[in-house]
A = this chain, B = another copy of it.
Amino acid sequence: MDILPVLEAFAIILVSARLGGALFERFRLPAVLGELGAGIVLGNLSLVGFHGLDDLKSLPTVEAFAQVGVLFLLFQVGLESDVGRMVAVGLSATLVAVLGVVTPMLLGFGVSTMFLHDQNPLIHWFVGATLTATSVGITARVLGDLKRTNSVEGRIILGAAVIDDVLGLIVLAVVSGLISAANAGQPFDMTGLALIVAKALGFLGVAVVVGRWVSGLTFRFAARLPGEGLLVSFGIAFCFVVAYLAGRAGLAPIVGAFAAGLVLDDIQYKSLRERDAKKRDLRELLEPISSFLVPVFFVLMGMGVDLSAFAKPGVLGFAAVLTLAAVIGKQACALGVLEKGTSRLAVGLGMIPRGEVGLIFASIGRTLTLNGERVVSDTVYAAVVVMVAVTTLVTPPLLVWRLREKRAARSAAAS
């Protein structure tokens, strides 16, 4: 284990993240955009002939730090959220999630049918499936930057993203199950599907109902131990355990991290907090860790945007239409919002970003074959990469614009 390349990578990533963030903050844009931008620059220097940073992208250690970083982000978002207030928007969140899965899937199917003629319909469904799952990291960060995590819009988006992840998982299971069955000439395995659904729903039940009780027990136990730093250690361990369980249930670990924060309540660790010399709560303790790790995630996300993918022949047209389908598809979410006085547009915009989940779907598609051909061809894969990049990049400015406009309208109405 050679630590030197890791240190080099971190130094470059941390400084670039801050420089990029500062540049965007100068123009009153959220820092996260600057971090993504810094990543895009770092990740594409090879296009202008500089190869000194090529290894940076493929250091598994740095990627692990980034993935742990996004867990901290969602854990913090969960800590700032409240189960009761999430349940209050539960119906809207569910509707938003369902609409936000069905519409992009149908649109994706349509786009794929249009561009990839003579292919099996199952392939078109698979392309549709890659458009379903919202990647909530970007939106959560923008909401946090604007201090709007607990707004009605914020809660609906976060709740919908969790449900959306479960639905996306089911969609992937069904479509890839159908493809595998068709390929092998066998009937579709319903038991396997039922198991996947049961695991995902089981996780959510356990996380929300049992999790609250377990977190209470954990911190009562921790409070009886002597020593310092218990709050931060047990808090992180709890987050990691729930994230791990989410992963084992087939969901994204960030869903688990969010759930961990959601069920964890200040009151549960009150006595540990009292023992801290500066009476810091868990959010305050996690803040420096996030300052360190979260930008690593966003820079790496930016580095994953391969600008040369835009240039491949045949990709650009397909990618543009697919991206449009991805963006428009999520605007159907606006119809699911039942609360009055809520910016429906903000919810639709907040659901746009597709991230690692879309890429994971696409890479699973590359391992599947149907009648001897790969389900996700090079063209489709490049288009998905472009779609992920564009949806990630357009969301922050659009969301900032919409939420600021809403606030301005409110202030104007109030005065």
A248:B64 contact, CB within 8 angstroms: no
Q: Mark A211-247, 1 if CB is under 8 A from B, else 0.
A: 0000000000010011111101110110011011001
Q: Given that A232-B288, A289-B292 are contacting pairs, would A225 and B19 also be in contact in the complex, using a CB cutoff of 8 Å?
A: yes
How far does the alpha carbon of A292 sit from the alpha carbon of B237 in the complex, in Å? 9
Q: Given that A3-B68, A3-B253, A288-B289 are contacting pairs, would A11 and B227 also be in contact in the complex, using a CB cutoff of 8 Å?
A: no
Which residues of B have CB within 8 Å of A244?
Answer: 4, 7-8, 11
With both beta carbons as reference points, the residue of chain B lying nearest to A10 in the complex is identified as: B240
For this complex, 25 residue pairs linking A to B, each with C-beta atoms less than 8 Å apart, are A1-B63, A1-B64, A3-B64, A3-B67, A4-B244, A4-B253, A6-B67, A7-B241, A8-B240, A11-B244, A18-B222, A18-B227, A18-B229, A18-B230, A18-B233, A21-B227, A22-B225, A22-B226, A22-B227, A22-B230, A232-B288, A233-B295, A236-B292, A278-B284, A288-B288
Question: Which 8 A-B pairs give the minimum distances between C-beta atoms?
Answer: A229-B291, A22-B225, A61-B64, A7-B244, A14-B237, A285-B288, A25-B226, A7-B240
Which residues of B have CB within 8 Å of A10?
Answer: 236-237, 240
Say if the beta carbon of A17 comes within 8 Å of chain B: yes
Say if the beta carbon of A15 comes within 8 Å of chain B: yes
With both beta carbons as reference points, the residue of chain B lying nearest to A295 in the complex is identified as: B233
How far does the alpha carbon of A226 sit from the alpha carbon of B10 in the complex, in Å? 21
A135 to chain B, nearest CB (A): 15
Q: A4-B253, A7-B247, A17-B233 are in contact. List 14 more A-B contacts (CB 8 A).
A: A6-B64, A6-B67, A8-B240, A11-B240, A14-B233, A14-B237, A14-B240, A18-B227, A26-B226, A61-B64, A64-B64, A278-B284, A288-B288, A289-B292
A224 to chain B, nearest CB (A): 9
How far does the alpha carbon of A409 sit from the alpha carbon of B67 in the complex, in Å? 51
A52 to chain B, nearest CB (A): 14
A200 to chain B, nearest CB (A): 15
Q: Which of B63, B64, B291 contacts A233 (CB 8 A)?
A: B291
Q: Mark A26-41, 1 if CB is under 8 A from B, else 0.
A: 1000010000000000
B253:A7 contact, CB within 8 angstroms: yes
Q: Which of B68, B236, B248 contacts A6 (CB 8 A)?
A: B68
A68, A228, A244, A292 pick with most chain B CB within 10 angstroms = A292
Q: Which of B1, B11, B236, B288 contacts A67 (CB 8 A)?
A: B1
A247:B25 contact, CB within 8 angstroms: no
Chain A contacts to B: CB under 8 angstroms: 1, 3-4, 6-8, 10-11, 14-15, 17-19, 21-22, 25-26, 31, 60-61, 63-65, 67-68, 71, 222, 225-230, 232-234, 236-237, 240-241, 243-244, 247-248, 253, 278, 284-289, 291-292, 295
Which residues of B have CB within 8 Å of A232?
Answer: 288, 291-292
Which residues of B have CB within 8 Å of A291?
Answer: 228-229, 232-233, 285
How far does the alpha carbon of A237 sit from the alpha carbon of B288 in the complex, in Å? 14
Q: Given that A64-B64, A225-B19, A230-B18 are contacting pairs, would A243 and B7 also be in contact in the complex, using a CB cutoff of 8 Å?
A: yes
How far does the alpha carbon of A225 sit from the alpha carbon of B278 in the complex, in Å? 28
